[in-house]
Amino acid sequence: MTNPLLQKNRLPSFSGVKPEYIEPALDYVLENAKNTVDTLLSDLQKATWQNLVLPMEALDATIDHVWSPVSHLNSVMNSDELRVAYNACLPKLSQFGTELGQNEDLYKAYKSIAEGSEYQNLDHAQQKVIDNAVRDFRLSGVELSQQDRDKFKAISQSLTELTAKFEQNLMDATHAWKKHITDESLLAGLPQSTKEMAAQVAKRDEIEGWLFTLDFPSYMPVMSYADDRDFREEMYTAFATKASDQGPNAGEWDNTEVMKDILKLRHELANLIGFANHAERSLATKMAQSPQQVLDFLNDLAARSKSIAEKEFEELKTFANETDGMTELEAWDVTYFAEKLRQQRYSISQEELKPYFPEDKVVSGLFGVVNKLYGLEIKERDDIDVWHKDVRFFDIFDGEGELRGQFYLDLYARNHKRGGAWMDECLLRRQTEQGIETPVAFLTCNFSEPVGDKPALFTHDEVTTLFHEFGHGLHHMLTKIHHAGVSGINGVAWDAVELPSQFMENWAWEREALDLISGHYETGEVLPQDLFDKMIAARNFQSAMIMVRQLEFSLFDFRLHLEYDPAQANQVEKILTEVREQVAVVKPPEFNRFAHSFSHIFAGGYAAGYYSYKWAEVLSADAFSKFEEKGIFDRQTGLEFLQAILEQGGSKEPMELFVEFRGREPKIDALLRHSGIAV
């Protein structure tokens, strides 16, 4: 049978992909790619955009055609066989990527374009592609001695394998733990929808009663509503010790050594190419100019937030004492009493809002918001091959009827799917011999599934997450740049890449938008005004506590990569403890192993870059403030954002694009106002 990964279909043939096809397909395209590069360079008299950059873009696209669906399946339909095939390919990809990045002849060819007469005739997006490529060759160690290049290659390969190991340990640890309950009295306080979902999960496993897992739609309601303190403690302990040396599965999928090795190798790699540490290496491709600038930014936010957060926590402790006689709040009590206090103060809970956010209404309403802002039409298709029956597929058309993008939507949590929510690229917009390639995105979430004959009902937090990921998707799909290196989110500085996603979240809080995205699943009634008023009143409930929690993650990540010292032991614990002393108001128990499941920095792209969420939030809040001035559905302002930010991708520096939209550089005031923290 023909290998489906090597067929010329535009979209992946997911149903035909089997683990045994993966390695042969990758071997084939990598071998072809190596031969293509050799042929290109041997025939090259003088490098130009046409005879070098375009063929290299096509070469990347050929590899992506095989690897993108495989990588995606590994995240959403993981199996032992798929994992073996995936892991066997990682060293090959790493080796190919490093060899390409260290190819001196290729480097000289790109450099000759950068320094030659053609460069001035290229448009700004093409110039950015060339500039980024020359920079990335240097960051790949192209100017090192052969001995150091070999060392760089070996380290890169090890890092690829280690980050995959971290993610796999976390996935295995998450799915290994389950809590089976047969005594309904233990479920006191839990919403009916949570109990129904747990019963459905138990039934799927062919057991009586209720089954709880560490997937977020199962975990969070227990922490928020379960009256049984022992149940909360047990669930918290399992969640907070995932993939570590502590907790119910202690040592079984332990990431302790994996983290140490990742940090050590990142530091060595940074040193090898002339940086003092990985934090400096990380900033070579970001908006922030120096480690000190990042630390000053985070410490300033911490100084503004800490005292308010302490006051919020004292209020919570007083409330818990007065209502429950609790003198000491443990980590597994905080969310529970916070939810009770929120309900007492604002008479509202996430659970109360869920009936108003059924999946179809939220999804169609989101599309309605995008239509009002940018004039886009989004239409569902049912003729596309998908990896799971719950996956949906959509086309995006602009006002002229042009197909601008397409996306897969995979909303529910399930076994063999990694946690969290993300947008990933399936196809990039780029110029091909056949014309412009339409970009395609994967949009993946882990929300509550439909229970019984009810539709999937989302919490408002889940609605906000969907808006966030769709913002990333729009950035990828609406680009008008057709040079792959700077198309969509490519080439965008990492600390600016969250701007379109956090920007989109704002509409999940606006009355006019909520009228589009809400509708009671039984009556169709939009979110009532009194519930909306309560929701807005409660929006900044404990916002300073949330702020310092994010700052804890950001400072821990940045300091860990900035201050790493190979001679010192236990740096993860030491730095995390110091950061918590500085900013945290809720002190977790000794057994807490948060870092062991911090996949953003140990398995994702956020190493020494988690601060990007807060950095970009300054940009997104300030960008949205223009809509607050002009009207949240002001089409002109929407088109200005579309043209300045979404369509231009990574073709210009983020500050340049922001100024183009806002008319000035960003200010922090809007973020502080939105967070309920005084300027």
Name the residues annotated as catalytic. 469
Q: Which residues of 32-63 are buried (b: 16+ CB within 10 A; e: fewer)?
A: ebeebbeebbeebeebbbeebbbebbbbbbbb
> What's the gap between Cα 671 and its chain centre?
20
Categorise residue 196: left if φ over 0, alpha if ψ from -120 to 50, beta otherwise.
alpha
> What's the gap between Cα 131 and its chain centre?
26
Provide the 3-class DSSP secondary structure of residue 143: coil
As a whole number of angstroms, the longest Cα–Cα distance in the chain is 82
Provide the 3-class DSSP secondary structure of residue 396: strand
> Residue 485 carries which DSSP code?
G
Cα torsion angle, 616, 407, 487, 274, sign: positive
- The answer to whether 113 and 47 are in contact (CB under 8 A) is yes
Rounded to whole angstroms, the Cα distance separating 125 from 671 reads 31
The CB density around residue 219, as the number of other CB atoms within 10 Å, is 19
Phi, psi dihedrals of residue 95, rounded to the nearest 5°: -65, -45
CB-based burial of residue 182 (10 Å sphere; 0-12 exposed, 13-18 middle, 19+ buried)? exposed
The closest of 451, 498, 470, 500 to 365, measured between CA atoms, is 470
Rounded to whole angstroms, the Cα distance separating 495 from 654 reads 9
Report how far apart, in Å, the C-alpha atoms of 656 and of each of 26, 328, 482 are: 39, 51, 20
- The answer to whether 88 and 19 are in contact (CB under 8 A) is no
Report how far apart, in Å, the C-alpha atoms of 532 and of each of 216, 348, 352, 511, 514 are: 25, 10, 11, 8, 9
- The answer to whether 317 and 306 are in contact (CB under 8 A) is no
Rounded to whole angstroms, the Cα distance separating 621 from 502 reads 8
Provide the 3-class DSSP secondary structure of residue 380: strand
The closest of 456, 502, 532, 537 to 617, measured between CA atoms, is 502
> What's the gap between Cα 355 and its chain centre?
27
Provide the 3-class DSSP secondary structure of residue 445: strand
**Letter for the amino acid at 286?**
K
- Give the full edge-to-edge strand order of the sheet including 440-447: 377-381, 392-397, 403-412, 440-447, 422-427
Rounded to whole angstroms, the Cα distance separating 265 from 157 reads 10
Rounded to whole angstroms, the Cα distance separating 658 from 646 reads 11
Rounded to whole angstroms, the Cα distance separating 30 from 96 reads 7
Cα torsion angle, 376, 382, 385, 386, sign: positive
The CB density around residue 130, as the number of other CB atoms within 10 Å, is 23
End-to-end CA distance of the chain: 65
